[in-house]
Structure 1
Amino acid sequence: MPNASGNDEEIRMTFTALQVTEPSQGRFQMDLVQRTLDELPAGEVLIRVRYSSLNFKDALSASGNRGVTRSYPHTPGIDAAGVVEQSSVAEFSAGDEVIVTGYDLGMNTAGGFGQYIRVPAVWVIKRPRELSLRESMILGTAGLTAALCVDKLEQAGLAPDAGPVLVTGATGGVGSIAVALLARLGYAVTAVTGKADRAGFLRSLGATEVIDRQGLQAGGERPLLKEQWAGAVDTVGGDILFNAVKGLRRGGSLACCGLTAGTEFQGNVLPFILRGVNLLGVDSVEIPLVVKASMWDKLSVQWKIDLSALVREVSLGELAGEIERILQGQQVGRVLVDLG
């Protein structure tokens, strides 16, 4: 185990990490490699990672998306939960169980797909008492984002008796947790998916209605659609996002947090000036640590949900196949990464 001595034996200690490289022909490649602690970036807290999770941003980093990761070789993984091994700040001590999500982790800083990370202390929060390390990574950035969406909608006035709430991309990580969380809080949830064979899965999470993605894509040329939803969580972006906006009830709100269907959409002002609806942006990456901590506290107690039905557990060695799956739009629920 690493200690505070900084001796040569510690520096040479190796650990396993998934590393993405760009060979000369330009095709990105994923391999398990052995790294040493001295190859990690500077930071006040060294953490032995026990669990991580797979997110769409991780897949983008692993496939060479320069908008996510600027230089390679690189270890992705925007989520990590583990045990502090070393700390140079008073807030953390060896043995503390902690969570790190977002900021630059897994983007341009070696991330949670390695057995060790070293990060600034301002990125780290202690694990809430009622949430295990494993549970925290079943949630991960996806759960944090879903919670932030629901919190923003409720701050904008949404309540369970206001009417149904739409969730797009409902079989994905954020979407599936949003469905389960909203149902747990008493909302009637309409889940949108392009995977017709997953309707039973979505209903098991608490969805009261499941609609096909193509149905939501229809009517894109119309400035307004029938008022249907009191609120919405959109995880995909693109024109689906604005069709959901056009179908909001008067005074309704949509929380926007994803871009798998694109970063642009065709829009108009009529839903805003005729129905007074709200389009709410949700960021889970650079928000203040105190906000993240408050959401983790909610997810550990009053918003705690059983996510055992939507998680699959894999090892680092199985990650490459899972990354291909999420890039092809085939991931369902959450993929938990056990780093041993």
Structure 2
Amino acid sequence: MAYLADTYIRFPIKVRNASGVRIWDLDGKEYIDTFMGIGVLLFGHNHPNVIRAMKEKMERYVHLSNFFLDEDAEYVARRLISETGKGGKVFFTNSGAESIECALKVIEKFRKRNRRKGKIVSFVKNFHGRTLGALRITGFERIRIPFIEHDTEVVFLPYNASEVEVFMKAETVDAVFLEVIHGSGGLNMIPGEVVEVIKFYQKKHNFLLVADEVQSGLGRTGKFYGYQHFDLDPDIVTIAKGIGGGLPLGACLMLGELADIFETGEHGSTFAPNPVALAAGRVILQMITAELLEHVTNIGKAFKEIFSQFGTVRGLGLMRGVELEKRVTKEEFLSEGLLVNIVGEKTIRFLLPLNVSNDELDEIAERFSRVLKV
């Protein structure tokens, strides 16, 4: 790997093929993937409906540019907006970070239009991306400080209702960024008391609320959007990861009065939305039904019951974290054919496919038990 940037620590396996929750290496050894490309593969590897849709679109065309309208763009945008219960419009992107960058531009336009110069609030352990704009509001100092040492406009608050309220009383706030479940920050849920403070001051001060649904959206928590568990009313919703079926696709949803905030030429993308990714997105959204959301809720409860024997279980639905009592390396899990994603020192982040079966869950737990000797 002499020609690749040293930005990742990779698994010591070479992949031959993958299907569902399973990956096989070049020697034919089987592994179970517990985090699905970091939440990208909502229905597992190589779901036949998704692959079929991609192939059919590729036989027609692979790329058009935004000077043409792909019919799947209309369907995907309409479904994403309709699930919010509000009016709005979509700007398609290639990733979660790009969706956040779009949200930041919306906020800047909103501030200039209304002559506001308040603070932008994010939270400690929020993760919003690694581009410079997204880093401004990412609550991990170790990845932010090497590039942005001090930003007077952005404030990072803890998930503590008293501290949030003291700040909201004292300062003018223009926007608040939320991850209702911290994806990279240990799968902690936003406390209900913090939610109530945010809702109160959102009405009082009319700031923009941004729900980052890159990981928690599209049914992963048992509701279409994760923020819907908390009765929040966002002005902007950011989407990515699972919407493209493994291909780059994201979206910035601008709701209510923000729907027409961009004028022609004020934002754009060469590649997004890619027609092949949109074809996958259409099929994925068609598979996210009320019955599927019920399955996610029920199997999420089963997950919590089964995996509580191994440690503290956090999260909702199939966006779960298991904090172990002791540190275990990914190599130890690899020896039992489990591919895991460790966030922090001892928390395993599970982003299983939404259609995972009870038998597959039991098999994962059995291998987990062998590693931990429980």
Higher RCO, 1 or 2 (CA under 8 Å, sep at least 6)?
2
Q: Which of the two has greater strand per residue? A: 1
Which structure has greater helix proportion?
A: 2
TM range (shorter): 0.3 to 0.5
TM-score normalised per structure 1: 0.38
- Length-normalised TM-score, structure 2: 0.35
